[in-house]
Amino acid sequence: MRKDQLNMKKITINSVAAYAGVSKKTVSRVLNNEPNVSDTTREKVLKAFKELDYTPNPIARGLARNRSFIIACLYDNPSKSYITRLQSGALAACHEHGFNLLIHPCELRGEALLENIEQLLQTSRLDGLVLTPPFSDHADLVAFLRRKNVPFARVASVKLDDESISVRSNDEQGAYEITELLIELGHKDIAFIKGHPDHSATEQRFNGYRRALEQHHIAYQERLVEEGNFSYHSGADSAQTILHLEPRPTAVFASNDYMAAAVLKAATQMDLKVPDDISIAGFDNAPIARHIWPGLTTIAQPVEDMTRLAVSHLIEQINKSDSEENEEDSGPLQITLEAELICRESTAAPKI
Amino acid sequence: MRKDQLNMKKITINSVAAYAGVSKKTVSRVLNNEPNVSDTTREKVLKAFKELDYTPNPIARGLARNRSFIIACLYDNPSKSYITRLQSGALAACHEHGFNLLIHPCELRGEALLENIEQLLQTSRLDGLVLTPPFSDHADLVAFLRRKNVPFARVASVKLDDESISVRSNDEQGAYEITELLIELGHKDIAFIKGHPDHSATEQRFNGYRRALEQHHIAYQERLVEEGNFSYHSGADSAQTILHLEPRPTAVFASNDYMAAAVLKAATQMDLKVPDDISIAGFDNAPIARHIWPGLTTIAQPVEDMTRLAVSHLIEQINKSDSEENEEDSGPLQITLEAELICRESTAAPKI
DNA sequence: TCGAACCCTGACACCGGTGTCATAATGTCG
DNA sequence: CGACATTATGACACCGGTGTCAGGGTTCGA
């Protein structure tokens, strides 16, 4: 059968088989790089692929193999830049492996979460799930997914002590370094604004702050610590308290850049010069950190890399569990990437 | 057959049919709300759905109907907040109709675009496409999709003179209003920073600026107009030129908030007080507009609504073209939503 | 009372791939 | 050289739904 005889009809595995003069099963073998196909046959089929411009139908394939080639990325994160970076890393890995990415924003709080996820699983027949903060350490969710036997990977989770895929950055170390920077500049009264309690990063960053103080023999002062929730607003509230303390701290380390930006705004409104009158540091290296004046000293995490790695390993696991039927979990996979300190204009030695 | 006899097996249409004592075709009829099912039968089946907790498999359904229930959202936009707002609107509409959303960032420039899209269509078997700026007015892409007979909807397109689905906001009017506000505050030398030439919004906003000047009998001065590209950096460059003009304009209207923020940063670095020494206005109401000090006067577009509407109508069209086989395009659908002026602290009367 | 029109319903093929197994062809070893 | 293992291939059922069509039961008009 010649190509033009097909006359623009949909190209299916049957057309290819007919064109190449083999059975559709053989075409399928070539498609999936299965062994036991002679070189000459394989080449005939590959030639047919090219000449017919054939693309296998992922839906049919999915039906036959009970797979959707779709993974979903769960998030409930206030930071747009964080989300888009997550997505971009996840997409890169998905494309590499021929998967598609579904994004699924949903709320951490509320009874409905598990139902919501269950419905997502039911209706989309996902092959796997990527948990991003604050879901990465949601014990109920993790237990639920284990019970349902749904492959998943966690991004920026704290808990390293289990057998699932998890990629994180070293938040504790980052916070340590930024605090140490302030200390070495000569600051002693360093205020700290905590993040959202649901995020495990919150505790990590706080720990880094405390460890740096301790290491440098500076007493921890509870009065300098405010509760925030990563939002700009919460930063603004905390700033009001912190900037009116007596004596006023000479530096503020906020757990993310939005809160740091809010502190900067509040300080500017109070006619405090940054960094002369007060130093400010953030975390995350969000775009705003370099879009304001002065630019924020902060910590850059390799968010794209984290997600890319997580998704990549997730897909590997999916593919593996597909071929081997034995349920040996191919071992845990825990990766920790380093974060990078970025110095901008918002930090300097205190003017005595 | 009783439910517990099924003993946790996968619930398929066959199980339901057996449980309800009807054929799978009848179950399928109930699933799709087809006519010609007696009330008693329908209820039996519905009862089986509930008791077995049945969810139809979208993949099998997709194979049979040659549909994927997936639409993709194309974008190449520098603004993270714009992207996430687009996504959130698109997701809302998708969920409402049982569709899934694929996100597909890609580059406008470069020969590879059409190939890229073609591959996306081939491998994902999308049911439709949402074009967001700057793709909304990409003539080649639009022609390509028409030729391929791929349903699509455009968000924030300028061209209203054709038969496809298109939802936009009135950028020209928004720019007019913000310029008018500045004029009414007493400004006469109002600088303007253009956006990216690939985006149709760029021209719209510029037109609004010029119309307001004209309407208020203020001569247009070419020296006050800078070329930008919506990025923070381009705003910073333009700011350098504008802020050093002699005489210096008393107000700057940037085509988006990032560029406006860059102007604000540059002005602050030059020890100019905003808004006392110079007023600054932006466009889009990006988060940064309220995260910096002073907050930016800007225009808020209903981005979520635009995308939601676009996707909603797109899905309607997909569903319709599925049932009716006649290719009558159900009429063009052009919607224009209004944008809203948001006054913050960055604009005031000029201090003479 | 009988055929026509209509409403329900199910048998069966089909969507486009993959899995299982039988079979033929080839290779290997005692 | 015969018994057996291995490789290459295709026939066929199957994944879980939907489309087509035929047949049995009702209703209706003549």
* SS3 per-residue string spanning B13-53: HHHHHHHHCCCHHHHHHHHCCCCCCCHHHHHHHHHHHHHHC
**Nearest residue to A249 (alpha-carbon basis) of A314, A196, A182:** A182
**In this structure, is the CB of residue B63 within 7 Å of any atom belonging to strand D?**
yes
Q: Which is more confident, B281 or A293? A: B281
| CB–CB contact B103 A100 (8 Å) | no
Q: What is the pLDDT of residue A79?
A: 87
Residue with structure tokens 């890399």? A305
String of DSSP letters for B242-276: HHT-SSPPSEEEESSHHHHHHHHHHHHHTT--TTT
Mutate to test the interface with A, among B9, B49, B84 (most CBs of A within 10 A): B84
| CB–CB contact B55 A123 (8 Å) | yes
Whole-angstrom CA distances from B117 to A23, A45, A101, A282, B125 are 31, 26, 16, 39, 11
**In this structure, is the CB of residue A61 within 7 Å of any atom belonging to strand C?**
yes
Confidence of residue A325 (pLDDT cuts 50, 70, 90): very low
- Name the residue closest to D16, CA to C1': B60
**In this structure, is the CB of residue A319 within 7 Å of any atom belonging to strand C?**
no
Q: What is the pLDDT of residue A351?
A: 85
**In this structure, is the CB of residue A33 within 7 Å of any atom belonging to strand D?**
no
**Nearest residue to A49 (alpha-carbon basis) of A74, A22, A68:** A22
Residues in A touching B80 (Cβ below 8 Å):
80-81, 83-84, 287
Distance in Å, residue B319 CA to nucleotide D26 C1': 34
What pTM was computed for the model? 0.90
Find the mean pLDDT for residues A152-157. Answer: 91
| CB–CB contact B261 A88 (8 Å) | no
Task: Tell me if B325 sits within 8 A of B310, measured CB to CB.
Answer: no
Residues in B touching A261 (Cβ below 8 Å):
291-292
Output the six-digit token pair for B175: 């720019």
Residues in B touching A125 (Cβ below 8 Å):
57-59
**In this structure, is the CB of residue A63 within 7 Å of any atom belonging to strand C?**
yes
Q: A260-269, A289-298, B74-83, B159-168: which has the minimum mean pLDDT?
A: B159-168
Whole-angstrom CA distances from A303 to A75, A84, A106, A156, A312 are 14, 10, 20, 9, 14
Confidence of residue A331 (pLDDT cuts 50, 70, 90): low
Confidence of residue B3 (pLDDT cuts 50, 70, 90): very low
Cβ contacts of B214 within 8 Å, gap of 6 or more: B220
Mutate to test the interface with A, among B59, B125, B243 (most CBs of A within 10 A): B59
**Nearest residue to A70 (alpha-carbon basis) of B55, B310, B58:** B58
Residue with structure tokens 């509320």? A110
**In this structure, is the CB of residue A121 within 7 Å of any atom belonging to strand C?**
no
| CB–CB contact B63 A68 (8 Å) | no
| CB–CB contact A105 B98 (8 Å) | no
Name the residue of chain B whose CA is nearest to A288's CA.
Answer: B288
Name the residue of chain A whose CA is nearest to B71's CA.
Answer: A102
The two beta strands, B298-300 and B333-337, are unpaired
Q: What is the pLDDT of residue B331?
A: 56
Q: For residues B346 and A11, give the distance between their C-alpha atoms in angstroms, rounded to a whole number.
A: 60
Confidence of residue A161 (pLDDT cuts 50, 70, 90): low
Task: Tell me if B127 sits within 8 A of B99, measured CB to CB.
Answer: yes
Distance in Å, residue B27 CA to nucleotide D30 C1': 38
Residues in B touching A84 (Cβ below 8 Å):
80, 83-84
The pLDDT tens digits for B96-134 are 998 999 999 988 887 789 989 988 988 888 999 999 999
Q: Which of B63, B80, B125 is facing A287, going by the closest CB pair?
A: B80
Crossing angle for the helix pair B13-20 and B39-52, to the nearest 10 degrees: 120
**In this structure, is the CB of residue B268 within 7 Å of any atom belonging to strand D?**
no
Q: What is the pLDDT of residue A202?
A: 95
Q: Is the pLDDT of residue A215 over 70?
A: yes
The two beta strands, B152-155 and B251-254, are unpaired
**In this structure, is the CB of residue A65 within 7 Å of any atom belonging to strand D?**
no
The two beta strands, B333-337 and B279-281, are unpaired
Find the mean pLDDT for residues B208-235. Answer: 96
- Tell me the average pLDDT of chain A: 90
Distance in Å, residue B4 CA to nucleotide C8 C1': 30
For chains A and B, CB pairs below 8 A equal 94
Confidence of residue B322 (pLDDT cuts 50, 70, 90): low
Find the mean pLDDT for residues B34-57. Answer: 93
Share of chain B above pLDDT 70, in %: 93
Share of chain A above pLDDT 90, in %: 78
Give nearest nucleotide to A61 (CA–C1'). Answer: C17
Q: What is the pLDDT of residue A243?
A: 97
Q: Which of A63, A101, A261 is facing B60, going by the closest CB pair?
A: A63
Distance in Å, residue A55 CA to nucleotide D7 C1': 28
How many angstroms from the chain centroid is the CA of residue B222?
Answer: 32
**In this structure, is the CB of residue B57 within 7 Å of any atom belonging to strand D?**
yes
Cβ contacts of B58 within 8 Å, gap of 6 or more: A123, A124, A125, B69, B98
**Nearest residue to B198 (alpha-carbon basis) of B289, B107, B112:** B107
**In this structure, is the CB of residue A268 within 7 Å of any atom belonging to strand D?**
no
Strand locations in B122-189 (E): 128-131, 152-155, 165-169
Mutate to test the interface with B, among A121, A122, A293 (most CBs of B within 10 A): A293
> Strand D nucleotides below 7 A of a protein CB?
7-12, 14-20
Find the mean pLDDT for residues A299-313. Answer: 95
Distance in Å, residue A27 CA to nucleotide C9 C1': 39
- Rounded to the nearest angstrom, the minimum Cα separation between A211 and chain B is 31
Confidence of residue B323 (pLDDT cuts 50, 70, 90): low
Q: For residues A240 and A193, give the distance between their C-alpha atoms in angstroms, rounded to a whole number.
A: 12
Residues in A touching B124 (Cβ below 8 Å):
58, 100
Q: Is the pLDDT of residue A44 over 90?
A: yes
**In this structure, is the CB of residue A31 within 7 Å of any atom belonging to strand C?**
yes
Output the six-digit token pair for B328: 């009558």
Residues in A touching B77 (Cβ below 8 Å):
none
- Name the residue closest to D7, CA to C1': A36
Name the residue of chain B whose CA is nearest to A87's CA.
Answer: B103
**Secondary structure letter of residue A180 according to DSSP:** H
Whole-angstrom CA distances from A331 to A162, A226, A327, B89, B194 are 10, 40, 11, 40, 55
Q: For residues B206 and A226, give the distance between their C-alpha atoms in angstroms, rounded to a whole number.
A: 45
> Phi, psi at residue A9, to the nearest 5°?
-70, 165
Task: Tell me if A238 sits within 8 A of A228, measured CB to CB.
Answer: yes
The pLDDT tens digits for A109-131 are 877 899 899 889 888 889 999 99
How many angstroms from the chain centroid is the CA of residue A248?
Answer: 36
For the beta carbon of residue B168, count every other beta carbon within 10 angstroms: 24
- Tell me the average pLDDT of chain B: 91
Could you check whether the bond before residue B247 is cis, i.e. omega within 30 degrees of 0?
yes
Task: Tell me if B205 sits within 8 A of B171, measured CB to CB.
Answer: yes
Confidence of residue A77 (pLDDT cuts 50, 70, 90): confident
Confidence of residue A322 (pLDDT cuts 50, 70, 90): low
Q: Which residues of B65-76 are buried (b: 16+ CB within 10 A; e: fewer)?
A: eebbbbbbbbbb
Q: For residues A300 and A298, give the distance between their C-alpha atoms in angstroms, rounded to a whole number.
A: 7
Give nearest nucleotide to A42 (CA–C1'). Answer: D8
> Phi, psi at residue A71, to the nearest 5°?
-125, 155
Q: Is the pLDDT of residue B7 over 70?
A: no
Task: Tell me if B211 sits within 8 A of B271, measured CB to CB.
Answer: no
> Strand C nucleotides below 7 A of a protein CB?
7-12, 14-20
Confidence of residue A321 (pLDDT cuts 50, 70, 90): confident
Output the six-digit token pair for B1: 């057959």
Distance in Å, residue B38 CA to nucleotide C1 C1': 28
Task: Tell me if A307 sits within 8 A of A91, measured CB to CB.
Answer: no
- Rounded to the nearest angstrom, the minimum Cα separation between B2 and chain A is 22
Give nearest nucleotide to B25 (CA–C1'). Answer: C10
Q: Is the pLDDT of residue A1 over 80?
A: no
Q: A79-88, B118-127, B267-276, B321-330: which has the minimum mean pLDDT?
A: B321-330
Q: For residues B61 and B58, give the distance between their C-alpha atoms in angstroms, rounded to a whole number.
A: 5
**In this structure, is the CB of residue A24 within 7 Å of any atom belonging to strand C?**
yes
Q: Which of A57, A84, A292 is facing B84, going by the closest CB pair?
A: A84
Residue type, B159: K
Q: What is the pLDDT of residue A173?
A: 96
Share of chain B above pLDDT 90, in %: 79
The pLDDT tens digits for A136-145 are 988 899 999 9
The pLDDT tens digits for A238-256 are 999 999 999 999 999 999 9
What radius of gyration, in Å, describes the C-alpha atoms of chain A?
26
Maximum separation of any 2 CA atoms in chain A, in Å: 88
For the beta carbon of residue A212, count every other beta carbon within 10 angstroms: 22
Residue type, B10: K
